[in-house]
Structure 1
Amino acid sequence: MDIIPIKYDPKYVEKKIYHHWMKGGYFGSYPDKDKIPYTILMPPPNITGILHIGHILNNTIQDILIRYARMKGYNTCWIPGTDHASIATEAKVVNLLKQQGLSKIIMGREKFLYHVLKWSKKHQNIILNQLKRLGCSCDWKRTQFTMSQGLSKSITKVFIDLYEKGYIYRGHHVVNWDTEAKTTLSDEEVIYKEQKGKLYHIKYQIEGEKNFVTIATTRPETIFGDTAICFHPDDIRYFHLKNKKVIVPIVNRVIPVIQDSYVDQNFGTGCLKITPAHDINDKNISDKHHLEVINIFNEDATINEKGLHYKGMDRFEVRKRVIKELFQLKSVVKIEENHNYKIGFSERTQSIVEQRLSLQWFLKMKKISIHAIDAVKNGEIQFHPSKFKKNYFQWMEKIRDWNISRQLWWGHRIPVYYYGKKNSDFVVAENFEIALKKARKKSKNKKLQSDQIKMETDVLDTWFSSWILPISVFNGIHHPYNREISYYYPTEDLVTGSDILFFWVARMIMAGFLFQKEKPFKNVYFTGIIRDSKNRKISKSLNNSPNTMNLIEKYGADAVRVGIMLRTNAGKDFHFDEKICLQGRNFSNKIWNAFRLIQSWKIKSKSDKTDISESSNIAFIWFENRFYYVLETFEKFFIKYKFNESLMILYKFIWNDFCSYFLEIIKSSGDFRSKYVYLNTVKWFENILKLLHPYMPFLSEEIWNLIQKRTSEEALIISSWPKKNSYNHDILVSFEKATEIVSQIRNIRNIKRIPYKRKLVLFTNSIIEKKCDSVILKLANLSKIVSIKKPVKGNFFSFLLGKDRYFLSEEKENIFFIKNKNDQDEIIDVIKIEREIKYFDNLLSRIRKNLSNDKYVKSVPKQILLKEKKKENDTLEKIAILKGYLRNQ
């Protein structure tokens, strides 16, 4: 027998066990028509650093699902991968190069991408190794990277197909502009924060009059882009301005006064300045009224030539100077301090986002969203929890065209080639050769040369590569009906955060119906957001995540997994505290110690079922029924994606039922154990390990291998999940009642400081736990349990369970019971009786002393003397009865 270490060493075990799994090839998957597939696509972590605690949560849940399905007999396929994360990665590399005195622009695109690829390879390896440290049982040969050649070809094909079908177009729109990364952002990549600022009231002179109209704005620097003044059609305060024009201060541009119902009459003065190039709502108004659009910002948020003498200055510096000049022109009416308003920040660079008119590539979304809405509405795709359907429908029904182009170098380059000066002088093609042919044909210039066409410098939004992942990972874009996608698609479960419901989940659903005519997955499980002590979302950008590898190094992967899973709940946020990992480690140690105890037993060479105690026999009967009850309850929660509840059921089952009760009951006072006891204990322990495996794969596999010598075909990871069986509910009720009694007795021992080795006697009028008396006797260390109908008061410890009253005697030799004249059981306290005998002896002595005194007898009335003699007889009778009690025991 192997020597079992006293202390469980997760670092040694986890490394050894993962190597064991990899060597056994247990993670791989191939299409098999005889087995049902179960597929999960990993949300690919960004290659911008190490895994944060949110990734640990997400991937632990996926591993739990895949291990459970594997043991249930499914052909499991978990596809891992990483995401190139265009904006975030480019920003990281740009900053890294800056520290080295290098510039992206000076070195050029090719050399810059060399550095990014070097970064990406390094961080891909870091992330994949961290996933392995966590215990992720992915099919590593299927590892994907969203910038891989295969996925890139799929993305190019999708772009071309959508363009040719009229879904993709190029146009001028007001977009969110990241002034640091110098690229557009989607609405979902802008984080709005409440800020205190100033509201400036500025007056504009009415053309041809000496009168003015006052507007209120938080951004006076955009005055150079004003092309109209607007008020609500129902606002009678401004009816006198109908069909008039005003003069923009500083610029002296004459602009019209218009009316639009968009205007909030209660904001500011109720009169707005319209700057179409720098506000999406202003642009919408501008389109309706055919206003001029003036862009005043450069890419870095400095003012361009439209800003006159402020050209080249930073926007916030311009704000200060413009207000100063407006004061000089006497155009400032007042300034409201501490005005609350929201400012948008880039999720990736944390810079203040600028809305800016820009020529970009867009994907029409309204039509392709219809199937995606219906699939969730009719339950074809299930959300867990379902509350997120409301958010989903709200976004989908108001969906806008998707700005898919980004002004970056790192990413999938847009397959567009320009050959002329007009905006329409371009072709869409998969490479230069095809583009040249298309350009010659479109331009009707057969002499057009390859050096006369230039490829689009922009790249596609990162999410444009991710939205087709469930299809592209099986090469379904190029070969829609190949063997792999026909077998594995649609995938089963998607585990993700609700914060990318629109970024990714909704778009994948649209892509699934658009390209595969089928949903991409059946279920979406939304994790809660993990927050820090300040209630902030834990993220890479805030750098507020604990170092996950340090946690695993300190506590072990299983401990971290269990700690997190005990706290998580579908769709609910929770605060991270390192103490949860300590709880996981304590649980690991509890299981390891239980294993060590079993392995330390000396087994009798010959023994059978008859060679066990009554309490042990009851323990096996109860534990078998308890196991099947727990299995049923565990799976009931598990299939509803209530992983924390299923784990808590298992946690209590192992800690309390198995360790605190079962092992304690079957514990023998001698050195040897019955072979029957040992084999059956191992049998149920192995069943426990099966339930435990999805949550604590390393520890469970290690014990599984040590408790019996096994071949590679008998690894726990590929063992069969326990099958459900019937159970006797009455046995569970009786045993639970017995454990409640034991718990009460143990509490009394603790409170009264009665040593456990001192035996007690229990008196009760309950019979429900009678079949478990032997268990109570052993666990509570009682000498006997006495059934009584109606106890009398005595010097006992008592407790109540339900309607049943229990009495506990500290010392068994001082307690017995008798039948009283009503045939009821009365508890007798020996010490109390002896005290009473002594009392009556003293009383008798005093009475007799009086009766033997002649002077007393002659002096008292006859009536009193008779009373004293009667008292003597009564006392003698009481002493005789009490002594009789003692003689009968």
Structure 2
Amino acid sequence: MDKTYSPHAIEQRWYQTWEDKGYFAPGGEGAPFCIMIPPPNVTGSLHMGHAFQDTIMDALTRFHRMRGDNTLWQAGSDHAGIATQMVVERQLNAEGRTRHDLGREAFIERIWEWKAESGNTITRQLRRMGASLDWSRERFTMDAGLSEAVREVFVRLYEDGLIYRGQRLVNWDPVLHTAVSDLEVISEEEQGHMWHMRYPLADGSGHVIVATTRPETMLGDTAVAVHPEDERYRNLIGKTISLPLTGREIPVIADDYVDPEFGSGCVKITPAHDFNDYEVGRRHDLPLINIFTVDAAINANGPEKYRGLDRYEARDAIIHDLKELGLLEKIDDHKLMVPRGDRSGVVIEPYLTDQWFVDLTRDEQADGRPGGRARITLPAIEAVESGRIRFVPDNWKNTYYEWMRNIQDWCISRQIWWGHRIPCWYDEAGNGYVARSEEEAREKYKLDADVALEQDSDVLDTWFSSALWPFSTLGWPGRTQALQTWYPTSVLVTGFDIIFFWVARMVMMGQYFMQDVPFREVYIHGLVRDAHGQKMSKSKGNVLDPIDLIDGIELDALVEKRTRGLMQPQMAKKIEQQTRRDFPDGIPAFGTDALRFTFAALASTGRDINFDLGRIEGYRNFCNKLWNAARYVLMNTEGQDCGQLEEKEVELTVADRWILARLQQAEQEVIESIRTYRLDHAAQAIYEFTWNEYCDWYLELSKPVLTHPDSPAARQRGTRRTLVQVLETLLRLAHPLMPFITEEIWQRVAPLAGVAGETVMRQPFPEPDDGLVDTAAIEDMDWVMQFILGVRRIRSGYDLKPSQPLPVVLENSSAADRARLESNRHYLEFLARTESITPLAPEAEPPEAATALVGEMKVLIPLAGLIDKAAELERLAKEIEKKEQDLERVSKKLENGNFVNKAPEAVVQKEREKAEETRTALANLMAQKEKIAAL
């Protein structure tokens, strides 16, 4: 093995080998186990959330594959309708063209060309993460098979009366000219205004005051509402308002929706431009007046003088005219939540338009058949209530219930070109014919060949095809072997933010079309945040790219990457300064295994994780530790007798029996942790066993056996065998979390351990053997380690050289202590560097000495003659003075009100912890000074 661990030298080489040899394909003889990857957008690139989620899924997949389960991690990506169309439209715009210049068919062809050239970035990055997806089964939501499944589902739901076309209020993007889902709307607080307007009563008896953040929508008002119990306005109910600027009269209505305590207690109702007002309008049968074009300009329903004005131009004109008429009461500054399209960045408008919907709310259809609530929604709720689907952590089921029990009909149509086109054809009279193809439509509806038909221009919401993912990817609507084997799938790994948009819809569609749940468990993981708990965002300049963490990136390249595309020079400058401060040397290359292990160590169920570069640096050191341990093992075992021949005697030392026992316990802990989705506990168990027990203790304990000239050959064989067997098992244990380094080392160690095979990933996962849990060996080694640690603490505390032999006296030692001393003296002398170890007679007076406890026994080291008392007191005085200065500096900082009140809480807490650590260290130094002074 190379002296230095270099992840770049092994990672891509091993991944290519695994993929070329088909190791990711299912093949176990055990029970089926299947995970569906949440299909990443074809336009996307790997971000920290993906990397975290994919680490979890890959760890589960590798674990079950090694356990012998028939394991499939289904690969695939999503066509990302709006995002992909925007990418290609920008390319055309750069050429001075639009999609309309090409026409629909040519534009779609251009998108397919883009996908072939540039649409696989994220799948290449998934490979860099070590994701062992079965790429031979990779699917795309626009491939032929999935497109067939989408058409089949649409037609069946339509024929069952569960899809309809109607005019409803939707989120409308005025730039993209399409309805968008709630997930594609980002609402953030912005500074705006609240306009208070006077609406005159039609009978001239006065006016009411209404307030709005969108005064332009008043042109579409169809009522003013007050609370039915509001004494101030009870006499106005039933009267009419003369709506300013429009020449229309609108009624005053009573509705519980109105909050009498907010504003004036009078609310303007605009059913065609506000979701809450839409519901009020339905209750009171109010007209719906749409005043906007698809561009959010005033249409023909508005007064002539405002027609054609952009919504914000119209706002300015309306405010001006109200002032002129004396109808503007006041304008207040007001913070409000502004909904913007996540792709276009423009403010989204509630807009009244004809769309296709899935019925999720009706109890009964017009023909008496059960409606969508009974046939789709309630069965999806029952699936979780009955326990057929289990959320991990369990509390997320409440979020699921909340949305499902307040669900609205699902708007599934989008006014773009890239996507699954609605399978409905229209004749010249506007009659629609839903079918799987135009030919089927003509046959089904008995249409003559001379009847001209044109397919609906809308496409389906991307989430519609994603809702079918667990069964469409396995070959539905065909009855494939894959579908029979892996449906229902085992577990869905996802973030809480798409419980509504994806999880719930998969449950609904799976129940309806497969008559079974799509997965047995839903593991909800947290979000990846920065080291201070802040959400990662480009505007904050705190985004980390997982590939940069794997490969490393120089400072200037990192600055350029973080400031690219920022329009505001001031923000770019701020982010540049912050980046240069936080990463003065850029980001070093940590490698994939260190990144994966960091994610695993932070993966406590359901909680957000704060990603600190200090953690990944620590786990890169862990990789180095494992590498160096393997080099030690190989140097002491390659070409040696490792006890594999049955005819040769093998003797196991107490240290051998101890490490084998602890390995069984570690195996049990790792298995249980992975089964319960506690990858953090699994990582901790692997880390502690590897670093603290195998490397720091067992490798050191093996040295006196292997190097002492009087060691029996059988004992040396036993220790060599234990070295390679434990390391080989440990590599299998850690493989799901750290696939590359474990494979590289395993290839060298496995033959020495008598294990045959081409790859560690196809080896069985370790199973604990209770027969190897030697409790006596564990107790003996615990005594030995406490003894050695006690001596080391004294040596460190009194600044004694590591190589200096120390005399040790044992006070209050029992017969068991003395027996352990004799059987383990070689370990104590070698690792504690003792000159002598002498049990004190019961009647003897103990010497003045530094003390450590091992159970009831005291380990004494007489310091007389070992230290220069004056020099040691002088050294301690200097250390005490420095600690006092440190404590004073931190204390002053914490006493500063400006710092405590203005600094981030995480920073303040760090200073508090530093102060407490300094106080503890100072107290220890003072106690040590007193002891030495007493000598």
Q: Which range, TM-score by smaller chain? A: 0.7 to 0.9
Does residue 590 (structure 1) correspond to residue 642 (structure 2)? The answer is no
What is aligned with 1:427? 433
State the Cα deviation string for residues 710-743 of structure 1 (Å, max 9, x = none): 9984421111122222223454344334323423
Rounded to whole Å, the distance in 2 between the matches of 1:766 and 1:50 is: 64
Q: Which amino acid aligns with 2:13?
A: K
Contact kept? 1:604, 1:675, Cα under 8 Å: no
Rounded to whole Å, the distance in 2 between the matches of 1:71 and 1:346 is: 44
Rounded to whole Å, the distance in 2 between the matches of 1:604 and 1:120 is: 53
What is aligned with 2:820? 771
1:44-193 matched pairs, under 5 angstroms: 44-193=39-188
Report the more deviating stretch, 792-801 or 754-763. Answer: 792-801
Change (3 A) 1:804 1:571: same
Q: CA deviation at 1:94?
A: 2.2
Q: CA deviation at 1:186?
A: 2.2
1:194-343 matched pairs, under 5 angstroms: 194-308=189-303, 309-337=305-333, 339-343=334-338
Contact kept? 2:357, 2:412, Cα under 8 Å: yes
State the Cα deviation string for residues 330-384 of structure 1 (Å, max 9, x = none): 00112222x2332222233332211111110000122312122112122211111
Q: CA deviation at 1:243?
A: 1.5
Contact kept? 1:760, 1:811, Cα under 8 Å: no
Rounded to whole Å, the distance in 1 between the matches of 2:487 and 2:472 is: 11
Report the more deviating stretch, 642-651 or 346-355. Answer: 346-355
Q: Structure 2: any 5+ residue segments left out of the alignment?
A: 361-372, 552-588, 868-935
1:192-591 matched pairs, under 5 angstroms: 192-308=187-303, 309-337=305-333, 339-365=334-360, 366-367=373-374, 368-422=376-430, 425-438=431-444, 440-441=446-447, 446=448, 448-449=450-451, 452-476=452-476, 478-479=477-478, 481-532=479-530, 535=533, 537-538=535-536, 545-553=543-551, 554-591=589-626
What is aligned with 1:27? 24
Rounded to whole Å, the distance in 2 between the matches of 1:301 and 1:745 is: 79
1:803-814 matched pairs, under 5 angstroms: 804-810=857-863
Q: CA deviation at 1:262?
A: 0.9
Q: Which amino acid aligns with 2:77?
A: T
Aligned to 2:474, the other structure's residue is in SS state: coil
Aligned to 1:80, the other structure's residue is in SS state: strand
Q: CA deviation at 1:286?
A: 1.0
Aligned to 2:517, the other structure's residue is in SS state: coil
Change (3 A) 1:533 1:73: closer
State the Cα deviation string for residues 139-184 of structure 1 (Å, max 9, x = none): 1110011111110011001000000000000011111112232211
Report the more deviating stretch, 89-98 or 70-79. Answer: 89-98
TM-score after normalising by structure 2: 0.81
What is aligned with 1:723? 767
Q: Which amino acid aligns with 2:467?
A: W
Change (3 A) 1:604 1:172: closer
Contact kept? 2:222, 2:251, Cα under 8 Å: yes
Q: CA deviation at 1:500?
A: 0.8
Rounded to whole Å, the distance in 2 between the matches of 1:487 and 1:303 is: 56
State the Cα deviation string for residues 767-818 of structure 1 (Å, max 9, x = none): 466537433443222234333458746431123466654322358999xxxx
Report the more deviating stretch, 305-314 or 71-80. Answer: 305-314
Rounded to whole Å, the distance in 2 between the matches of 1:312 and 1:77 is: 56
Q: Which amino acid aligns with 1:765?
A: N
Change (3 A) 1:604 1:270: closer
Rounded to whole Å, the distance in 1 between the matches of 2:459 and 2:727 is: 56
Change (3 A) 1:126 1:292: same
Aligned to 1:216, the other structure's residue is in SS state: strand
Q: CA deviation at 1:618?
A: 1.6
Q: CA deviation at 1:699?
A: 0.8
Change (3 A) 1:138 1:660: same
Q: Which amino acid aligns with 1:787?
A: P
Contact kept? 2:661, 2:778, Cα under 8 Å: yes
Rounded to whole Å, the distance in 1 between the matches of 2:117 and 2:649 is: 60
What is aligned with 1:843? none
Change (3 A) 1:285 1:738: same
Report the more deviating stretch, 258-267 or 183-192. Answer: 183-192
Same amino acid, percent of matched pairs: 36
Rounded to whole Å, the distance in 2 between the matches of 1:105 and 1:184 is: 19
Contact kept? 1:347, 1:541, Cα under 8 Å: no
Aligned to 2:289, the other structure's residue is in SS state: coil
Q: Which amino acid aligns with 1:174?
A: L
What is the RMSD of the two structures over their aligned residues, measured on CA atoms? 2.7
Q: CA deviation at 1:538?
A: 4.0
Q: CA deviation at 1:671?
A: 9.1
Aligned to 1:267, the other structure's residue is in SS state: coil
TM-score after normalising by structure 1: 0.85
Q: Which amino acid aligns with 2:106?
A: K
Report the more deviating stretch, 302-311 or 718-727. Answer: 302-311
Aligned to 2:796, the other structure's residue is in SS state: helix
How many residues align? The count is: 797
Rounded to whole Å, the distance in 2 between the matches of 1:334 and 1:558 is: 61
Q: CA deviation at 1:67?
A: 0.8
Aligned to 1:120, the other structure's residue is in SS state: helix
Rounded to whole Å, the distance in 2 between the matches of 1:601 and 1:664 is: 12
Aligned to 1:257, the other structure's residue is in SS state: strand
Q: CA deviation at 1:73?
A: 0.9
Contact kept? 1:759, 1:812, Cα under 8 Å: no
Report the more deviating stretch, 298-307 or 639-648. Answer: 298-307
Contact kept? 1:348, 1:541, Cα under 8 Å: no
Say which of 696, 700, 706 aligns to 2:742.
700
Rounded to whole Å, the distance in 1 between the matches of 2:803 and 2:19 is: 50
Q: Which amino acid aligns with 1:504?
A: W
Aligned to 1:266, the other structure's residue is in SS state: coil
Change (3 A) 1:49 1:238: same
Report the more deviating stretch, 645-654 or 675-684. Answer: 675-684
Contact kept? 2:637, 2:720, Cα under 8 Å: no
Contact kept? 1:760, 1:810, Cα under 8 Å: no
What is aligned with 1:876? none
Rounded to whole Å, the distance in 2 between the matches of 1:64 and 1:791 is: 59
Aligned to 1:243, the other structure's residue is in SS state: coil
Change (3 A) 1:172 1:540: farther
Contact kept? 1:24, 1:712, Cα under 8 Å: no
Contact kept? 1:170, 1:360, Cα under 8 Å: yes
Q: Which amino acid aligns with 2:599?
A: I
